Chain A
Amino acid sequence: MLINTGVPTREQIELRLPSPERRARGPYAMVECFQEIPCNPCSTSCPFDAILPMGDINEIPAIDLDRCTGCGICAGVCPGLAIFIIDESKGDGTASVTIPYEFRPLPEKGEMVRAVNREGDVIGDAVVTRVLLSKKTKTPLVTVRVADEHVHEVRFFNLIDNKTVCDKTSSKIEEEPKTDDTACATDDDEIILCRCEGITLRTIRDLIREGYTTVDEIKRISRAGMGPCQARTCGPLIASEIARMTGQPVAEIQPSAHRAPVKPMPIEFFLGGDSE
């Protein structure tokens, strides 16, 4: 599922594909936006009114492919970089995909690159046929030519020669055998809740067990929250720990009192003051 993986399903993609006739006729925009989010620049930017006006800005973009010329303006403005221009009209066994590519270095026309799918896997080779820069959007549109059968898979590319954005092979996460589990006994001493005063989770838990169950009580007895950040960092963590251990909802845990000044100031500061 898209919401679990960040990658649309095959069915979602197939439902968006134009008719075979339209695909053979010329370039078109493939709008891979499958979630209702408040966003409409694709529709307001289209010079041909091909991306239909949205009554509600949360609507999923709908496209009239008879009007779409594949000009690519929507691909350059889409904040989600989710629009690709597909051209399957060559009829020579290759097709092209135009990809919004906001990385450096940019490839050059004619350069061979590795074609990458939506999951980040290399699935073949591609040749860069156009690099279109825009001062306005600052989103370069790079067109690559790929094998016909890959045109609905390729959505990114990696440069060859070590110029890759994120080398997936180096990103592979090593599965490690589980080491002996002695860590737990000392874990609470290594978890810092209040960074300023150096108060550990163990200390906070011990205090809650002793019956200190408000943020203010814990603050007074341990100094947690009294440091220079004034509980901005630890306050929510301490409240949720109290909630967890006492079974109260977090909403019912009183936060500590907030008094001026919101950041520690030397006394001499208050003696000064402007006399304009």
Chain B
Amino acid sequence: MGDRRITDHPILDFDEGEVIHFTFDGKPMEGREGDTIASALHANGVKVLGYHFKTKRPRGFYCAIGNCSACLMIVNGKSNVRTCTAPLLPGMVVETQSDRGVPDDV
């Protein structure tokens, strides 16, 4: 499979940002400073961010810039987080979301 992170690029320099630890559905994973939640997951080979609440079809992001909302996940217990634009922070607990989402305090 090889590493998904680009290290040698003809135009861009990608700094090796600080490693950020987080979990995805309980599994420990590593991202980098500067990642969004979705980019860190993608770097770990995770494309399925949830299952549609009605059709149960696997769901991944589409636009990656906050337009399409196909990337909603549960982050630190909060539903409907747009993971394609939300920055990855240390210790985040990221979970696949397969319902419409529930209010925080339920």
**Do A and B interact directly, with beta carbons closer than 8 Å?**
yes
Please list the residues of chain A having a beta carbon within 8 angstroms of any beta carbon in chain B. 102-105, 138, 140, 192, 195-198, 227-229, 232-233, 263-264, 266
In the bound complex, CA of A266 to CA of B68 (Å):
18
Q: Which of B10, B57, B72 has the most chain A CB atoms inside 10 A of its CB? A: B10
Q: Which of A103, A198, A263, A266 contacts B52 (CB 8 A)?
A: A198
Known interface pairs A102-B11, A104-B8; A229-B55 also in contact (CB < 8 Å) = no
Indicate whether B70 reaches chain A with its CB closer than 8 angstroms.
yes
Known interface pairs A104-B8, A138-B11, A266-B103; A232-B53 also in contact (CB < 8 Å) = no
B70 nearest CB across to chain A (Å): 5
Indicate whether B54 reaches chain A with its CB closer than 8 angstroms.
yes
Q: Which A residues are CB-close (under 8 A) to B55?
A: 192, 198
In the bound complex, CA of A103 to CA of B11 (Å):
9
B35 nearest CB across to chain A (Å): 22
Q: Which A residues are CB-close (under 8 A) to B11?
A: 102, 138
Known interface pairs A103-B10, A104-B9, A104-B10; A192-B68 also in contact (CB < 8 Å) = no
A-B contact pairs, 24 of them (CB 8 A): A104-B10, A105-B8, A192-B57, A195-B62, A196-B69, A196-B70, A197-B54, A198-B52, A198-B53, A198-B54, A198-B55, A227-B69, A229-B67, A229-B68, A229-B69, A229-B70, A232-B67, A233-B62, A233-B63, A233-B67, A233-B68, A233-B70, A263-B69, A264-B80
B39 nearest CB across to chain A (Å): 20
Q: Which B residues are CB-close (under 8 A) to A105?
A: 8
Q: Which of A140, A195, A197, A227 contacts B10 (CB 8 A)?
A: A140
A94 nearest CB across to chain B (Å): 27
Chain A binding surface SS class:
loop
Let me know if B54 and A195 touch, CB within 8 A. no
Please list the residues of chain B having a beta carbon within 8 angstroms of any beta carbon in chain A. 8-11, 52-55, 57, 59, 62-63, 67-70, 72, 80, 103
B12 nearest CB across to chain A (Å): 9
Query: Which B-chain residue is minimally distant from A229 (CB atoms)?
Result: B69
In the bound complex, CA of A196 to CA of B61 (Å):
11
Query: Which B-chain residue is minimally distant from A227 (CB atoms)?
Result: B69
Q: Which A residues are CB-close (under 8 A) to B103?
A: 266
Query: Which A-chain residue is minimally distant from B69 (CB atoms)?
Result: A228
Q: Which B residues are CB-close (under 8 A) to A104?
A: 8-10
B14 nearest CB across to chain A (Å): 12
Q: Which A residues are CB-close (under 8 A) to B70?
A: 195-196, 229, 233
In the bound complex, CA of A197 to CA of B59 (Å):
12
Q: Which 5 A-B pairs have the closest CB atoms?
A: A228-B69, A198-B55, A198-B54, A229-B69, A102-B10
A203 nearest CB across to chain B (Å): 11
